[in-house]
A and B are shown apart, each in its own frame.
Chain A
Amino acid sequence: MSFTSLVRAIARYVFVTFILATGVFAPLSASAETLKLAVTTSFNNSGLSDILLPQIKKDLDLDVQLLIVGTGQALRLGQAGDVDAVLVHSRAAEEAFLAAGYGTHRREIMYNDFVLIGPSGDPAGIAGSGSAVEALKKIAAAKVPFVSRGDDSGTNKKELSLWKKADMDSAAFGPWYRAVGAGMGASLNTASGMNAYIMSDRASWLKFGNKGDLKLLYSGDPILFNQYAFIPVNPKLHPQVKTADVARLEDWLTSPKAEKLINDYEINGEKLFVFNAKR
């Protein structure tokens, strides 16, 4: 046997073994205690999850696997029993979820706020508006491009409720109103590309890396308050839900330790979330 064919035979063997090994053994190497939590894109895009998850792993020896989706889809995953708990931000949808018996209870964890973003020149002149509704009315009157999440997420539901408060029907808007049907980050990318107005949660905006000509133009109206709540999935409907681990996670999320981590989390010196769980 010549040298090259020997090398080739060995390489072939290693290659095949590698394929078999990665295919067969890798799935088994996942750690034992895992829990699936559906969270909103804003929780992950803000970077807070990168602070909390390693600490949870350390304190509870629990691997929290995040499914990053909009509030609408998060609640659907909980309803189907595909996750153990959800962390979302849309009160009306949460209460409907509980009323239907899909969750056991709702525990408020923390809040942040929504902000209005737009081109730095502010063609609609929303900076300094008296209220969020007034700002949206100005955008509609100026017919300047506005990007809507359009994905049934918590942010989307909030935006739609504001249009309703302004006595306007977002379905009847002209082409300036662009529902992109995407997550917070992807929508911000679209707004950045079109230099359009958009409503975002403060955390995602601060952490966003592709701001372009966009600027925070309006914030501070109490109506823009954004409450995050934790809801365990009902084990009566889905016996496979890891109720004990979910309870441990809930205790941790409402503990003084979590309070400090959440309250201390800052980007560019700006505080993002305020812990407000009742103990």
Chain B
Amino acid sequence: MSDIFDGLAAAFWLLVTLEPNLVEISLRSLQVSLTALAVACAIALPLGTWLAVQRFRYRRVTIATLNALMGLPPVVVGLIVYILFSRSGPFGVLGLLFTPTAMIIAQVVIITPLIASITHQAMRDLWAEYHDLLISLKTTKVQRVRTLIWDGRRTLLTAALAGFGRAIGEVGAIMIVGGNIDHATRVLTTAIALETGKGDFALALGLGFVLIALALMVSLITHWLSQTEREGRW
């Protein structure tokens, strides 16, 4: 039990003194995961919606595959991205391995199926509701997708936050492709793994509490900015 209190105390001091290293790795955690989230949303939201609207031959297989990919093991994604971007791999010339960019790429791969799947679920119900209206208005496919995304934006927020949660808490993939380099690719989760390795549980736990607080803050800010849960509109 005392370890937990030591952890809380460590988290408190880290935050009160705004330890420069802590600020640096927290900002990098946010930078990597938010960028990955932005890229993943740009792919997954239209894709998920399009899957709800469009009928085609292998639709069921595609959706089933997408759902299965939600459980993609991060460590395998990390390994594949590592092999692709290693100097002796096909994209080695880009020199991206052990940079934040490689970490973002790995996280995009991990969270895109998750966001796309949740989007598809939500949009399927919405499409059932909008189907007759949008068809009778003779809208194009692009217009339908756009309308659905806009009117379903609150559910999509949940999809995006789920993706963000998976990204910011992820350690397996970014440890492999980022390398946990101090002042370059170290983020909160890899720092926690490192401090645990040193047997410094208090600091590791302190960083863990900071990570949880960060995820909570992003969620609260997002909800506040998009004005959900207010009287008369949710």
The interface of chain A, by Cβ under 8 A from chain B, is: 8, 11-12, 15, 19, 22-23, 26-27, 30, 34, 36, 41, 45, 63, 65-68, 79-82, 183-186, 188-189, 192, 207-211, 238, 240
Contact = CB atoms under 8 A, between A and B. Distances in A.
B95 A186 contact: no
Given A8-B225, A80-B87, A41 B197 contact: yes
Contacts, number: 88
Contacts of A63: 183
Interface string B193-211: 0101111110000000000
B174 interface: no
A238 B199 contact: no
B158 interface: no
A73 B106 CA distance: 20
B198 A80 contact: no
Interface in B77-123: 86-89, 92, 95, 97-101
* Secondary structure dominating the interface of A: helix
A27 B6 CA distance: 34
Nearest to A49: B182
A82 B87 CA distance: 6
Contacts of A183: 197
B98 A185 contact: no
- A-B interface, 8 closest residue pairs, ranked by CB to CB distance from nearest: A185-B197, A210-B199, A81-B87, A209-B199, A23-B35, A22-B31, A65-B181, A80-B88
A30 B31 contact: no
Nearest to A65: B181
Interface string B22-36: 000001101100110
Given A82-B97, A208-B198, 4 more contacts: A11-B225, A82-B86, A185-B196, A240-B95
Interface of B: 27-28, 30-31, 34-35, 38, 86-89, 92, 95, 97-101, 179-184, 194, 196-201, 221, 224-225, 227
A17 to B, nearest CB: 12
B71 to A, nearest CB: 23
A208 B199 contact: yes
A248 B16 CA distance: 40
A185 B87 contact: no
A81 B92 contact: yes
B38 A68 contact: no
A30 B184 contact: yes
Contacts of B183: 63, 65
A19 B200 contact: no
Contact of B225 (A15, A36, A238): A15
A249 to B, nearest CB: 16
Contacts of B221: 15
Contacts of B184: 30, 34, 65
Nearest to B197: A185
Nearest to A22: B31
A34 B181 CA distance: 12
Contact of B181 (A23, A67, A207, A240): A67
Contacts of A22: 27, 30-31, 34-35
A80 B86 contact: yes
A62 B35 CA distance: 29
A154 B182 CA distance: 23
A87 to B, nearest CB: 15
Nearest to A184: B197
A66 B182 contact: yes
Contacts of B99: 27
